[in-house]
Amino acid sequence: MEKDKYANIIKTHAKDLGFDFCGIAKAGFLEEEAPKLDQWLNKNYHGKMAYLANHFDKRLDPTKLVDGAKTVVSLIYNYYPEKKLPEKKEDFKLAKYAYGKDYHFVIKDKLKTLLASLKHEIGDFGGRVFVDSAPVMERQWAQKSGLGWLGKNSLLLNREMGSFFFLAELIIDLEVSADSPMIKDYCGTCTKCIDACPTDAIVQSGVVDGSRCISYLTIELKENIPAEFKGKMENWVFGCDICQDVCPWNSFSKTHREEEFLPHPDLLGFTKGDWKEMTEETFQKVFKKSALKRTKFEGLKRNVKFLE
């Protein structure tokens, strides 16, 4: 009974903080994922993201991240914008998740508040919060907690809101009633994401060669973008939403309610010329607390130059 009570408390507090969905899974070794991850790394699908090859055991077992971990709480936070920035063929395009303030800051603050409020109501327990900031296989844990299934583009898909959302986790040493995992794959025979990817990054259902993904090429890759991708980037200057935009499940996307995710006013009217002529001063002003800080001004200029 205590375990059920804890689950209800966690989900109520998560909802109060604006999380759209909350699922719970029992912490343990992700046995089915181990060979898949090993194969993916051996094929160098992680490209220059060397950090993905680190902490192999921790990535598969949350009990190695948090001592005595018993439960993984997975949370969904919507970022689908009410108004999209220009996305015509000739426009330079920005992934929707990067319109506003960097989600790491926004959601981590909410997770810390959530953890504190849970301890206040339940009593003290151990745990850590995670927002794409440690070796946690967040999509797999979200699936295990019933929040969705892994689509052919490898993203978590939720039947009620598609995939335009962030995932976050609490890993805690409290035993909580777990939800049933999502077993069914609702993609069926649809291959729209595979067919639409201009760089052929989705090599098979559920497997993405990260080194060919436009998001990787414009954000993670610190070297020059390989010439083979010239003319294939479809004007994405930071990130890419192609495989999400074509996904039928994203017809269910609803507008987010997070003011922090609204774009800087200057960004709303950005033209191709503005991207090309951007100074470092403008970059620092418009993207002051943005995810674009990850690629830095020099990286963004490199992307723009490659698209010319």
DSSP letters spanning 154-204: SSEEBTTTBT-EEEEEEEESS--PPPPP----TTTT--HHHHH-TT--EEE
Instruction: Please give the backbone phi and psi of residue 76, each rounded to the nearest 5 degrees, phi first.
Output: -115, 135
d(CA 247, CA 196): 10
Distances from the Cα of 199 to the Cα of 206, 214, 232, angstroms = 16, 7, 6
**Share of the chain residues as helix, strand and coil, in percent rounded to the nearest 5:** 40, 15, 45
d(CA 259, CA 63): 35
Looking at residue 213, its amino acid is C
For residue 84, how many other CB atoms are within 10 A of its CB?
A: 14
124 tagged catalytic: no
- The C-alpha angle 275, 96, 284, rounded to 5 degrees, equals 45
Among candidate residues 91, 109, 132, 274, the one labeled active-site is: 132
Catalytic residues: 132
